Amino acid sequence: MDRYDAMRVFARIVERGSFTRAAEDLGVPRATATEAIKAMEARLGVRLLQRTTRHVSPTLDGQAFYERCLRLIADLEDAEGAFAGAKPRGMLRVDVHGTLASHHLMPRLPEFVAAYPDIELHFSEGDRFVDLVREGVDCVIRVGTLQDSDMIVRRLGLLEEVTCASAAYCDRCGVPRALKELSGHRMVGFRSSAAGAILPLEFTVGGQLRTVMLRSSVTVSGAETYTAAALAGLGLIQAPRYRLERHFASRELIPLLEEHPPSPTPVSVLYPRAGQLSARLRVFIDWIADAMVFR
């Protein structure tokens, strides 16, 4: 087995956590996969994998080598795919917030899979900063205003934001019908990992943005917990409308002050600036720019 094929075997073992499953995926005997890793470790002079009876995981050296292998495999696949009009193929790793993926991406994804059957997609979920090169991620899809970055940013759209509170909260504390009536109300505090602080509520007044900070009995840092706190009657929240529509339909949550909406939130895809854009990443970004429709 040549070094390229050995790298593919090693990468698949790391991803599957199993020699057997990796060998089955690649259509090679398990013994061949085992010998390839032994030869690789002997050549490099380091241990790449930790083996137990149930699972295989990379060592620190193995994780670093895995990330290098991903880039080398991707470069070779792109070089080969540049000839004879070959369709993009290979693994594409995307990091995206889970609720955004479930509402806007996954329903349309079968179209992309049908158009590019040789591209393997892996989605990780999060809203933290991701070191794309070190972690082997091809692109990230993020919601919100982005900090300065050396990555290329492509705007995908804007999410409509809305202010709301639970019906129980409104029954107990009243319905604010003007900004001046917010005095005495409470909000669920959302602590932004990017800003490192609790975000104020935002309201558009006469084309200008006004911020209001209310008292908070509860602060959170996760989108699902934020909505759950509002449903529990703990205060006002502001969130993308798409996440709250079903709660509006059931009257569990009540939209408030709709004549003074928060500023819409941008959705962007980010990818590394260095190097040539791979064919599979290029077609994926073009596809999501067209397929993901926001409001």
Decide which of 162 and 4 is more confident.
162
- The number of residues making up the chain comes to 295
Pairing of strands 90-96, 161-166: unpaired
User: Which residue segments constitute the domains of the chain, with CATH numbers given?
Assistant: 1-86 (1.10.10.10), 88-156+265-295 (3.40.190.10), 161-263 (3.40.190.10)
The pLDDT confidence band at residue 217, using thresholds 50, 70 and 90, is very high
Least confident of 9-18, 75-84, 155-164: 75-84
Pairing of strands 139-143, 90-96: parallel
Q: What is the pLDDT at residue 82?
A: 62
In 3D space, the residue among 139, 136, 119 whose CA is nearest the CA of residue 58 turns out to be 136
Q: Answer whether residue 290 shows pLDDT above 90.
A: no
Q: What is the pLDDT at residue 160?
A: 94
Q: Answer whether residue 148 shows pLDDT above 80.
A: no
Instruction: Give backbone dihedrals phi and psi of 5, rounded to 5 degrees, phi first.
Output: -65, -35
Percentage above 70 pLDDT, the chain: 89
